[in-house]
Each structure stands twice: as structure tokens, then as C-alpha cells.
């Protein structure tokens, strides 16, 4: 899962990125105002440690999140009031989700570009920027489709009309303040928009960057409407503190957290919020070679989940042998689970549940 970290200048987005990646990142795509920083972090699934003890596999594979820290706006080519440059918008189209860092800390040494700290305003400004990017993309698409419809042969026009109507429908929704992900679209309308990679169709998490002793704002408390906030994840963290802790040795960081009365690392909460907002669950596979967690969209059916292991598995799917994680641990083995009747045989349309331990039977 690729998540782009964005935010207004002086929001602390690069500090959040450093905290999330423990300062480990690589540069990619040099050019323009500079390269993008990319950091890969593991999402530790504690269930794998238990399964490791049961199966003693050659390797244990946890899911990963790849965070992106976008290059700054190139002021030589951007307008004075531009928040996201054309290059940044193009990069964001390739992300699976967006982590929007909002400043909620006071620091006189860091002047806020909009004159003062106001998290509610900043959330709205950034969401409006994403909507503006989508509107501009849809305006170009509408002009292109309208021109194509005029030039098309009569036999080709019926295929173009639904796409043009979808573009116009989504445009109207955006102009009314409704992001794409909150609009009611049919499967065919959703499919018609896939190639546009619209930003307001992506999951968005709000990360409120607070001071060490400052309270964390909430979307509800800031008066963000349910229509908008209903699709947003939210989490609070003190990015500077978390960055400092991320640079320490694990034992030293743990001692520091205990001394300060801190709970789990905020970066772990960010991962959890990302998973829940994107709508992911994990099924598990076990064996002597590998124990692994596979993140998939909630509600995915068994045949499509098999394709996350290998694309050929979708076509060759026969059935899935499924046992819930808790039952496997209690039984101690798949064989015992079969004897007790908790290892089930499921077909193509079975909806995978979080924690399902699955063995896919494939026709090769």
C-alpha cells in the first residue's frame, strides 16, 4: 500500500514522514524542485509471531506500507497561491491513499503560511485543493469526450455518451462540495472513472500534528461536516517527539515512553488508521516455507483473494480451505482443525474475513 504524505508548508509533513519511517528513506524521481522521498515500513501482525512458533517456517512476512514524502512545490513554475503543483498532483494519482498532515501546534519560530494556526481551516483548504485538482482533470476530460463525441461515427457514440454523462455527474457533485468517494455511483460509473485516478476518490487520513502537551483536535470538534468527515480517518501525534523516539534504539525509546507515561507509538496508531480507512483486512497463510499476512480489501471474495498470492490463482481457483486464526491456535494444527470441523471448505464467492488462515487449492 502506497500512502502519500501531504500538507501545507510548516505543517510538519516531512517530520511526520521521518517519524513514520524512522529516518530510513530513499530518493526517487529527481527533477523539478527535487526528488521524492520513499520509506517502507512493516505493519507488524502479532498473530504471525504465534504462527511462527507453531510452524517454524523459513521466513515470516509482514505486510508493508510505503510512505511518500512529495518534493516541494517548484516555485519557478508554480503560481504564488498554488498548494499542489502539477507534478505533485501527477504523483498523487499513483498513490493508494493520502495522509494529510494538519498543523495543530504553536511555534512562533515557524510562521504559518496562512497567518495563524487553525486546523479546521487547514483541513478544508487541503480538501478543497484535492477537489480543485479533480475538477480541472474532469473539465479536460469533458472537453475531450465532447469533442470525441462530435467527431465519432454514429455507431461509436453510444459507448461515449455514458462516460461523458458520468464525468458531468461527478463534476456537479464536486462543485456541490461532495468528494468522489462520498458520491453515489454505479459500478459502471465507477469503472468509467478509473483511468482518471481522481484524488477525492482516494481514502484520506488526517494526521493532526500537535505539540507535546497540546490536545488533539477532532474532525467533529472542528465542525467538519459528516458528509465529508464520514470518509476521513483521523489520528493525532506529536511528530517531533515521535521523530526523536524513532531515532533511538528500541530499548531506549521504550524506557523514554514509560518515563513520560506514553502508550504505544503514535506511528503504530497511524498504521492502524490507514488500514481501517482504506478498508483492509488480512488473511494468513502458513507452512514450512513461509508464514505470511496478506492485506486485501474488506469484502473480497476467496477467488480474488487468491489472486493476491499469484494472478494465476484467480483463474485456477478450485476452493479454499479456511480456518479462523483463533481456532487454529486452539487446535494446534490444520489436521486437528479438520477433525474438529472448524476447517471449512469454501467456494469462489466466500467473503474473506480478517484472520482467516487459508489454503487455496488451485488447478495448475
- What distance in Å separates the CA atoms of residue 197 and residue 178, rounded to the nearest whole number? 17
Structural domain contains residue 165: yes
**CA 116 to chain CA mean position, Å:** 29
In which element (H, E) is residue 339 found?
A: helix 334-339
In which element (H, E) is residue 97 found?
A: strand 97-104
214 and 192 co-located in one domain: no
Q: What does the pLDDT average to over 323-334?
A: 96
217 and 231 co-located in one domain: yes
Nearest to 308 by CA among 294, 319, 318, 298: 294
Residue 193's CATH number:
1.10.150.300
For the stretch 222-231, pLDDT in tens is 988 766 766 8
Assigned C-alpha cell, 118: 487553525
Structural domain contains residue 283: no
Residues near 46 by Cβ (< 8 Å), separated by ≥ 6?
A: none
- What distance in Å separates the CA atoms of residue 300 and residue 307, rounded to the nearest whole number? 11
279 neighbors 307 (Cβ within 8 angstroms) = no
Structural domain contains residue 292: no
Q: Please state the domain count of the chain.
A: 3
Asked whether the predicted pLDDT for residue 80 surpasses 60, the reply is: no
Q: Which of 164, 181, 200 is the last residue of a domain?
A: 200
260 neighbors 185 (Cβ within 8 angstroms) = no
107 and 6 co-located in one domain: yes
SS3 77: coil
Output the pLDDT for position 48: 97
261 and 357 co-located in one domain: no
**CA 351 to chain CA mean position, Å:** 21
Residue with the bigger pLDDT between 166 and 266: it is 166
Output the pLDDT for position 31: 54
Output the pLDDT for position 258: 77
Asked whether the predicted pLDDT for residue 74 surpasses 80, the reply is: no
334 neighbors 328 (Cβ within 8 angstroms) = yes
What DSSP character marks residue 108? T
Does this model's pTM top 0.85? My answer is yes
Assigned C-alpha cell, 204: 484520506
Q: To 5 degrees, how large is the angle CA 63–CA 21–CA 61?
A: 20
Asked whether the predicted pLDDT for residue 30 surpasses 80, the reply is: no
Would you say how long the chain is, in residues? Answer: 364
Asked whether the predicted pLDDT for residue 34 surpasses 80, the reply is: no
Assigned C-alpha cell, 212: 507535546
Structural domain contains residue 35: yes
For the stretch 117-157, pLDDT in tens is 999 999 999 999 999 999 999 999 999 999 888 888 888 88
84 and 149 co-located in one domain: no
DSSP collapsed to 3 states, 177-229? CCCHHHCCCCHHHHHHHHHHCCHHHCCEEEEEEECCCCCCCCCCCCCCCHHHH
207 neighbors 217 (Cβ within 8 angstroms) = no
Asked whether the predicted pLDDT for residue 78 surpasses 70, the reply is: no
Domain containing 149 equals 127-200
Q: Which of 200, 232, 260 is the last residue of a domain?
A: 200
Asked whether the predicted pLDDT for residue 266 surpasses 90, the reply is: no
Residue 24's CATH number:
3.40.50.300
Q: How would you classify the pairing of strands 356-362 and 317-324?
A: antiparallel
Phi, psi of 114 (to 5 degrees): -110, 15
For the stretch 316-325, pLDDT in tens is 999 999 999 9
234 and 132 co-located in one domain: no
192 and 219 co-located in one domain: no
Amino acid at each position: 500500500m502506497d500512502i502519500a504524505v501531504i500538507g501545507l508548508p510548516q505543517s510538519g509533513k516531512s517530520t511526520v514522514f521521518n517519524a513514520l519511517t524512522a529516518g530510513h528513506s530513499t530518493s526517487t524521481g529527481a527533477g523539478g524542485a527535487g526528488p521524492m522521498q520513499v520509506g517502507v515500513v512493516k505493519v507488524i501482525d502479532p498473530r504471525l509471531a504465534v504462527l511462527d512458533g507453531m510452524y517454524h517456517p523459513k521466513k515470516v512476512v509482514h505486510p508493508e506500507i510505503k510512505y511518500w514524502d512529495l518534493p516541494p512545490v517548484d516555485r519557478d513554475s508554480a503560481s504564488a497561491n498554488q498548494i499542489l503543483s502539477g507534478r505533485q498532483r501527477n504523483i498523487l494519482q499513483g498513490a493508494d491513499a493520502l495522509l494529510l498532515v494538519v498543523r495543530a501546534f504553536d511555534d512562533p519560530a515557524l510562521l504559518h503560511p496562512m497567518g495563524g494556526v487553525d486546523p479546521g481551516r487547514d483541513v478544508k483548504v487541503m480538501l478543497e485543493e484535492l477537489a480543485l485538482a479533480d475538477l480541472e482533470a474532469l473539465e479536460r476530460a469533458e472537453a475531450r469526450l465532447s469533442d470525441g463525441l462530435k467527431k465519432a461515427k454514429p455507431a461509436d457514440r453510444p459507448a461515449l455518451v455514458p462516460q461523458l454523462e458520468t464525468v458531468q455527474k461527478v463534476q456537479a457533485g464536486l462543485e456541490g462540495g461532495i468528494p468522489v468517494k462520498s458520491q453515489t455511483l454505479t459500478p459502471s460509473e465507477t469503472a468509467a472513472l478509473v483511468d482518471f485516478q481522481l484524488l477525492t476518490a482516494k481514502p484520506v487520513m488526517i494526521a493532526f500534528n500537535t505539540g507535546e502537551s497540546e490536545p488533539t483536535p477532532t474532525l467533529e470538534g472542528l465542525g467538519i461536516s459528516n458528509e465529508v468527515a464520514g470518509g476521513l480517518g483521523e489520528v493525532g501525534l506529536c511528530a517531533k517527539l515521535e521523530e526523536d523516539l524513532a531515532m533511538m534504539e528500541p530499548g531506549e525509546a521504550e524506557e523514554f515512553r514509560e518515563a513520560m507515561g506514553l502508550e504505544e507509538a503514535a506511528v503504530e496508531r497511524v498504521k492502524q488508521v490507514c488500514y481501517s480507512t482504506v478498508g483492509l483486512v488480512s488473511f494468513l497463510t502458513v507452512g514450512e516455507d513461509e508464514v505470511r499476512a496478506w492485506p486485501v480489501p474488506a469484502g473480497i471474495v476467496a477467488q480474488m483473494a487468491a489472486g493476491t498470492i499469484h494472478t494465476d490463482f484467480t483463474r485456477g481457483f478450485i476452493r479454499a480451505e479456511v480456518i479462523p486464526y483463533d481456532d487454529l491456535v486452539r487446535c494446534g494444527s490444520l489436521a486437528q482443525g479438520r477433525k474438529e470441523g472448524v476447517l471449512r471448505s469454501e467456494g469462489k464467492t466466500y467473503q474473506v474475513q480478517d484472520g482467516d488462515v487459508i489454503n487455496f487449492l488451485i488447478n495448475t
